Chain A
Amino acid sequence: MKITREDVLRVAELANLELTESELSTYGAQLASILSYCEKLNELDTKNVEPLAQILESGAAGADKDQAPDGGERQHLRNDAPRDAGIIREVVRRAPDGLDAEPAYFRVPKVIDR
């Protein structure tokens, strides 16, 4: 499988990773080799196979009866009752650029572009 330098740059940009020139070429070659290996999956016909995203999905594990579609209320939902975590000052104090005051804030370089 061919991975171009542009492919690597595009992925690095999506992932917000600053890469050196040597990382760019190393990762390019390694991604190509790993993805080529992954193409082995194409040997399998999966036309009529459902994808599996979560093992505990209804019917997937078979063991978690509470996930049955009409098993009533136990869908692992949370009741709408507020609880104060009270951690903000602690988190802000340790943040890279936090304003440990009342009110507390996180700061980032000016957002000018969206």
Chain B
Amino acid sequence: MSASPNASAGAAPPAGSTAWTVAGIRRALESRKVSARELTKDYYARIERENPRLNAFLALSPDRAYSQADAIDAKIARGEPLPPLAGVPAALKDVLDTRGTETTAGSRILKGYVPPYDATAIERLDRAGAIFLGKTNCDEFAMGSSNENSAFGPVHNPVALDRVPGGSSGGSAAAVAAGLAVVALGTDTGGSIRQPGALCGVPGMMPTYGRVSRYGLIAFASSLDRIGPFASTVEDVARVLEVIAGRDPLDATSADHPVPSYSAGLDAPVKGLRLGIPAEYFAEGLDPAIRQKIEAGIGLLKQLGCVPTPIAMPHTAYAIPTYYLIATAEASSNLARFDGVRYGLRVPGATLGEMYRKTRGAGFGPEVKRRIMLGTYALSAGYYDAFYLKAQKVRTLIKGDFDRAFQQVDLILTPTSPVTAFRLGERTEDPLAMYLADIYTVTGSLAGVTGISLPCGKVCGTLPVGLQVIGPHFEEGRVLRLARAFEAAGGFEL
């Protein structure tokens, strides 16, 4: 894949192409081969063409996008220095608050809701010169692994329209994969960036917990939620991450840890990096075709001088129940604010209680209700210790697996998902079976570590496989460095 656009060919690469990159756009803007307005217009034309069959975007924000584009073009005209993401068309998952643009979190209960403020990550992207094309479809309140839980219809995977894009950030992954945006923001609570990244064949990164402010992210599970980027190249993932990362006084759980220039450190050598390969992630349930690709990916990294090392992560099998108990407990509380009083849907009732029950009964979809029920149950009197508290203790053990592993190795490699993109409707009947497919991603979510899913070839000719690279807390730089080496060595097309 070429990192620089063929700018001489016209205003933009041909439709469907993912050839624009952050650096390429910057060069094209600076040399006046294209204006930010033209680029924006071109992306909107693509969206208009492609979105009806993908359903990746829920709302477009042309007013804001063109005003952002004009501000960049004005800077160019005045010869001012350009901000780091100048003119970069971006798609934003609909759980992120955007001032003046409808933000629904994929839910009927927020249909028509327009936030009065920008999320911190959004504000930082805005200041960095990005162009906000619109809001992307997702599972309702980010609860799902297939995007079929959106109140506004599922997203179709660009690589095979009858298949799911993964979830919950399926719209963002699909938008980047289909070339409808150069970069996108998603959120990841139990795999919601990494898994759709894998299923759509684009890199998607979950930063360390606390690395990116959650202010303005409509909460699913507060102790697990992260915001992170999708892009076509590792370099662009790094460029977006270094813009949105860092301490935010509006989020008490955002870390003070300094933010290095991730993009500048990408090409440092990877030779000698010890890569942990946990046997538990290659056990029963993993599609053999995926296993083969992942092993090929590990082989490629070995050729680059990395040192694969078998490690044990003995509590992996307990991650799914741990994750679903903690995430749903927090969600049951986080979603209590949707009560029909101050915003969103209200279904009238004769009494206050009736209004609450009708509003929430009609406003939430089946999966959200199921998770609220599960979380409420896990926290309720008599069950707290057996379920919620027990899960918090096992969370300590799971984190311990990672702490011990990172004493032996620098990074951990696993498949991102045990399956490739499955057919729409194929798995909606059994929620537990759907939850079990999150097995490789929820562990890192619980441990708070960082991870990226990288394209690692395709099976059956079309279906992308994802290789997950997990790093210790705040070691995004190391993860990206390995990812870049993998990309440069052709790992994406294995």
A residues bordering B, Cβ < 8 Å? 7-8, 10-12, 14-19, 23, 27, 30-31, 33-35, 37-38, 40-44, 46, 49-56, 60-66, 74, 76, 78, 87, 90-91, 94-98, 106, 108-113
Contacts and interface: CB of A to CB of B under 8 A. Distances in A.
B110 to A, nearest CB: 11
Interface stretch (B27-35, B198-206, B252-260, B268-276): B252-260
B355 A35 contact: no
Contacts of B373: 8, 11-12, 15, 17, 27, 31
A89 B341 CA distance: 15
B19 interface: no
A97 B346 contact: yes
Interface string B337-376: 0011111111011111111111011101010011011101
Size bracket, chain B contacts: 35 or more
Shortest 8 CB-CB contacts between residues of A and residues of B:
A18-B361, A55-B448, A96-B346, A51-B392, A46-B393, A18-B357, A38-B321, A87-B116
A97 B104 CA distance: 19
Interface in B377-418: 377, 380, 387, 389-397, 399, 403
Contacts, number: 188
B342 A56 contact: no
B256 A61 contact: no
B473 interface: yes
A38 B374 CA distance: 11
Contact of A17 (B249, B254, B372, B394): B372
Contacts of B336: 15-16
Contacts of A19: 361, 369
Contact of B387 (A15, A35, A55, A78): A35
B114 A30 contact: no
Nearest to B396: A52
Interface of B: 112-114, 116-117, 208-210, 223, 249, 252-257, 315, 317-318, 320-322, 324-325, 332, 336, 339-346, 348-358, 360-362, 364, 366, 369-370, 372-374, 376-377, 380, 387, 389-397, 399, 403, 431-432, 435, 447-448, 472-474
30 contacts: A7-B377, A8-B373, A10-B380, A11-B373, A15-B376, A17-B357, A18-B362, A23-B366, A27-B369, A35-B387, A37-B320, A38-B325, A40-B318, A40-B321, A41-B390, A44-B318, A44-B394, A46-B396, A50-B393, A52-B399, A60-B448, A61-B208, A63-B208, A63-B472, A64-B210, A66-B255, A76-B252, A78-B249, A87-B116, A113-B353
Contacts of A10: 380
B116 A56 contact: no
Contact of B352 (A46, A55, A76, A109): A109
B321 A16 contact: no
Determine the main DSSP class of B at the interface with A: helix
A53 B355 CA distance: 33
Nearest to B255: A64
A16 B109 CA distance: 14
A90 B395 CA distance: 41
A34 B324 contact: yes
A34 B209 contact: no
A61 to B, nearest CB: 5
A46 B256 contact: no
Nearest to B116: A87
Given A27-B370, A31-B373, A62 B473 contact: yes
Nearest to B339: A16
A96 B345 contact: yes
A59 B114 CA distance: 39
B343 A95 contact: yes
A108 B352 contact: yes
Contacts of B399: 52, 55, 60
Contact of B253 (A30, A56, A63): A56
Nearest to A46: B393
A1 to B, nearest CB: 10
Contacts of B362: 18
B397 A16 contact: no
A44 B390 CA distance: 9
A41 to B, nearest CB: 5
Which residue, A15, A30, A33, A91, has most C-beta atoms of chain B within 10 A?
Answer: A15
B223 A54 contact: yes
Given A16-B357, A61-B208, 9 more contacts: A18-B357, A34-B431, A37-B432, A49-B396, A54-B223, A61-B255, A76-B254, A94-B343, A108-B355
Contact of A61 (B209, B324, B364, B366): B209
A40 B323 CA distance: 13
